[in-house]
Structures are given as structure tokens and as C-alpha cells.
């Protein structure tokens, strides 16, 4: 069935004050236009999308944050004659694709905005009679197999039967910039996705631990950013890589072996914080999930974050691996993260799980951590 347009709906955006809503709507409109070739208008909490290629648009709108649901629709005028003709044609098309016949239990749902010579119920009954007249289907308002929606908006009426789920959240770019510490693992791409869903524009920072990790891990990072960029129309993720192997090597030779992971993570936060300040981002995000691995205990979290100027947000902190993996599968990052990249060879046999804050402070001071990180920071290319 060839639709005339797609009607999309937003959720949280509608709860904002007029001024903020206008700004968020503009951002959403730009993000949609960056994703698909279409004319887009927003009016009274509905987004009217006229794409050049409907199949492409239906696929891509699944990945535009801010959209809660959308419906390919046909359009007519809000008079009984026009609605009768349009509903009749719509019913024929539903019949052609096997969704409507004499055995189908159906309902008409009518919503109205504006002044009309009919109530919503009267229009629903009228349209229902058109369908019954053509196909002798039975009306079932409680458990319909098919619902035909009529949205009467002033002089225009839209007819549709599908509500496709969008990703929800807030339009990308409405909540400022964050630096995401993105590894090649399962968790950090999910953390990044969740912050994008809350409207954040992302700069992804990968700490390249070669020779302790392989070039495959770097490739996985790049593939993960490409996958996440399918959700980033309007504000694509920028990739940044810091050469981190020399710093790690220094930690291994100058600090207690047990502390390698603490110093590694603490250094990553500091570099990400420095980058955030340089590019005017407001926060750093990571994929920590409390207790998931030995290094992600509360004492370790405190010891690795105690001396930072930028907030570290960990959106997965309360989720378990199954919950995280489910999201990763849904957003298409799981398969990439699962590729074997050889892991990190710098991890000691017995990593610290209960870091002593004072000792960590002392070791950071002894190895002159900040100075060493300055050298690493210089390796980031823009």
C-alpha cells in the first residue's frame, strides 16, 4: 500500500516548556532530515514526514532518537464524503494484503483536533459502517485483530493501521556533548547508546593499548563506532584514539603489578576528562557495571575516580550482563564486540579488587602519573 506520508510521534519532548519544546522539535526535525531525504513539518505534537523513499524512511526512523512511534498514512479531507472514499480505498488495500475480510474483527479509532460537525465517535461509527458495508467484517472494540486509525486534524484527516515503535528518548544533540570511553567490549557501546538516547552528542575515545592489545581491538572499536553512527544522524560520533601502550608499560615497570588495572583505568578517566575540557564536553561516560568484573568494585571505582574535574557517568552501573547483552544485540553491537581480539596482556594474574585509596594516591604520585599522561594526550589526532 503506497502511503502519502509518515506521521511520527514524540514522547518526552511534549512535556517540555514551549520554548524548550520548540528547540527540541527543531533538533528532531534536523536529525530526521539528516537521516532521510524528506520534507518534514512538525505541528501540534505530530511530525509529518514526506520521504522520497518510504521503505528507506520506515527502516531509518527506527533509529532516530526522540521518536516514540510512527505510522505510514494516507491523507484526505475531513468531510464525510472524503472520509468515506478514503476509508473505502484503504479497506480495499488492507483486503489486498490479506489483513481484512469477512472474518476480521476490527475497530476504528478516531481522534480529533479542531471543530467539526461530527464527534469522534460519530466519525468512527461512520467509517466502521463503510468497512462493514464493503467486507461484512465484524466490529470488535475490545479485542480487535485490526485497528484502523483516523486522525482528524482540523481540515485534514490521516488514516493508518500500523504504529511502528521508535527508539524513544530525546533528540540527539539536545543534551550537550560527552566523551565516551569506548573499548571493543560489550558494555561501553551500550553505555554510549544509552547516553545518545538521552540526547548526548558523543566523542568516542579509544585507548590503544598496543602492544598489550592487538590491532583487531582497534578495528573493533572503529566498527563499533560505525554501527553506533547508524543512530547518530544529525550529530555523528567522532572517533579519537590515544596511544596508551607506553603509559601502560611505564605503570607495569614502575608500580606494583597488582595495581596495573587501577592505574590504567584512572589514566583513562583523566585523559577523557582532559579531552572533555579541551572540546567543551560536559561529562565522560564509561561502561562500568558494579561488581561485573574484579576491577569494578566500589573501592576500585572510588580509587580510579578520586581526582577528576569532570563527572564520570556510568549508565550501566546497575545492570547485569544479560540485560546489557540484550541491548547490545538489539542495537547491533553485540556481534562486533564478541569478535575475538585477543584481550589485554597487561592484566596481572591477581588484579587489585579492593584498592586502598591512600596507597593509590601515593603510587600515582610516585610514578608522576599526570606528567606521563601529558605525553599520551599529545598523541590524540583531531
E strand segments, the chain: 5-10, 38-43, 46-51, 67-77, 105-113, 138-139, 146-153, 156-160, 164-165, 177-181, 201-208, 238-243, 283-285, 312-313
The reply to whether 186 sits near ligand ATP by the rule CB under 6 A is yes
Q: Which residue, 141 or 302, is less far from ligand ATP as judged by CB?
A: 302
**Would strands 177-181 and 201-208 be described as parallel, antiparallel, or unpaired?**
parallel
User: Is 317 near ligand ATP (CB under 6 A)?
Assistant: no
Please return the burial class of 261, using the count of CB atoms within 10 Å of its CB with bins 0-12, 13-18 and 19+.
buried
**CA 272, chain centre distance (Å):** 21
Q: Which three cell numbers stand for residue 66?
A: 526522540
11 is in an annotated binding site: no
Query: How many helical (H) and strand (E) elements, i.e. helices and strands, does the chain have?
Result: 13, 14
Residue whose CB is less far from ligand ATP, 135 or 206: 206
Nearer to ligand ATP, 25 or 341 (CB): 341
Say if residue 44 carries a ligand binding annotation.
no
Nearer to ligand ATP, 26 or 277 (CB): 277
Per-residue binding string, ligand ATP, 123-162, x by CB under 6 A, is ----------------------------------------
Work out how close the CB of 18 gets to ligand ATP at its nearest, in angstroms, rounded to a whole number: 38
Q: Decide if residue 187 touches ligand ATP (CB under 6 A).
A: yes
Q: How far is the CB of 53 from ligand ATP (least distance, A)?
A: 35
Burial of 127 (0-12, 13-18, 19+ CB in 10 A): buried
Q: Which residue from 137, 157, 209, 260 is in contact with ligand ATP, where contact means CB under 6 A?
A: 209
3 binds ligand ATP (CB under 6 A): no
Q: Of 10-18, 53-61, 109-117, 205-213, which part binds ligand ATP (CB under 6 A)?
A: 205-213
Separation between Cα atoms, residue 15 and residue 66, nearest integer Å: 12
- DSSP structural state of residue 195: H
Give 109 or 297: the residue with its C-beta nearer to ligand ATP: 297
Q: Of 261-300, which residues contact ligand ATP (CB under 6 A)? A: 268, 286-288, 293
Place of cell 526522540: 66
Instruction: Provide the minimum distance between the beta carbon of 25 and ligand ATP in the complex, in angstroms, as a whole number.
Output: 32
The 10 Å Cβ neighbour count of residue 54 is 19
Residue closer to ligand ATP by CB (options 170, 225) is: 225
Residue 183 within binding range of ligand ATP, rule CB under 6 A: yes
Task: Between 176 and 343, name the residue whose CB sits nearer to ligand ATP.
Answer: 343
- Of the candidate spans 102-110, 167-175, 176-184, 275-283, the one that interacts with ligand ATP by CB under 6 A turns out to be 176-184
CB contact set of 321 (below 8 Å; sequence gap of 6+): 186, 289, 292
All three cell numbers of 160? 493508518
Q: Is 182 annotated as a binding residue?
A: yes
Chain contacts with ligand ATP (rule: CB under 6 A)? 181-183, 185-188, 205-207, 209, 268, 286-288, 293
Amino acid at each position: 500500500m503506497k502511503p502519502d506520508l509518515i506521521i511520527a510521534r514524540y514522547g518526552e519532548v511534549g512535556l517540555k516548556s514551549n520554548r524548550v519544546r520548540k528547540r527540541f522539535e527543531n533538533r528532531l526535525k534536523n536529525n530526521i532530515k539528516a537521516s532521510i531525504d524528506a520534507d518534514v513539518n512538525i505541528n501540534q505534537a505530530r511530525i509529518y514526514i514526506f520521504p522520497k523513499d518510504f521503505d528507506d524512511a520506515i527502516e531509518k526512523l527506527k533509529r532516530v532518537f526522540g521518536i516514540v512511534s510512527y505510522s505510514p498514512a494516507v491523507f484526505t479531507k475531513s468531510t464525510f464524503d472524503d472520509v468515506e472514499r478514503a476509508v473505502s480505498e484503504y479497506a480495499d488495500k488492507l483486503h489486498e494484503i490479506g489483513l481484512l475480510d469477512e472474518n476480521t474483527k476490527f475497530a476504528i479509532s478516531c481522534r480529533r483536533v479542531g471543530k467539526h460537525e461530527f464527534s469522534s465517535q460519530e466519525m468512527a461509527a461512520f467509517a466502521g459502517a463503510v468497512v462493514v458495508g464493503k467486507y461484512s467484517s465484524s466490529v470488535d472494540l475490545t479485542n480487535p485483530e485490526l485497528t484502523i486509525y483516523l486522525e482528524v486534524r482540523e481540515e485534514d484527516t490521516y488514516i493508518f493501521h500500523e504504529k511502528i515503535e521508535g527508539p524513544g528518548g530525546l533528540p540527539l544533540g539536545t543534551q550537550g556533548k560527552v566523551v565516551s570511553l569506548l573499548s571493543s567490549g560489550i558494555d561501553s557501546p551500550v553505555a554510549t547508546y544509552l547516553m545518545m538516547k538521552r540526547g548526548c552528542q558523543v566523542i568516542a575515545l579509544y585507548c590503544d593499548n598496543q602492544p598489550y592489545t592487538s590491532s583487531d581491538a582497534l578495528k573493533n572499536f572503529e566498527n563499533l563506532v560505525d554501527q553506533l553512527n547508524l543512530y547518530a544522524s544529525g550529530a555523528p560520533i567522532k572517533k579519537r584514539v590515544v596511544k596508551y601502550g607506553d603509559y601502560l608499560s611505564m605503570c607495569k615497570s614502575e608500580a606494583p603489578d597488582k595495581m596495573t588495572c587501577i592505574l590504567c583505568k584512572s589514566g583513562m578517566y583523566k585523559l577523557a576528562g582532559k579531552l572533555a575540557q579541551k572540546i567543551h564536553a560536559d561529562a565522560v561516560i564509561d561502561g562500568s557495571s558494579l561488581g561485573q568484573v574484579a576491577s569494578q568494585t566500589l573501592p576500585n571505582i572510588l580509587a580510579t575516580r578520586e581526582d577528576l574535574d569532570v563527572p564520570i557517568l556510568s549508565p550501566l552501573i546497575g545492570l547485569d550482563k544479560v540485560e546489557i547483552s540484550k541491548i547490545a544485540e538489539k542495537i547491533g553491537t553485540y556481534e562486533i564486540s564478541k569478535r575475538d581480539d585477543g584481550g589485554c596482556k597487561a592484566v596481572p594474574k591477581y588484579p587489585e579488587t579492593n584498592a586502598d585509596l591512600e596507597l593509590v594516591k601515593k603510587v600515582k604520585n610516585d610514578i608522576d602519573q599526570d606528567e606521563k599522561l601529558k605525553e599520551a594526550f599529545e598523541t590524540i589526532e583531531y
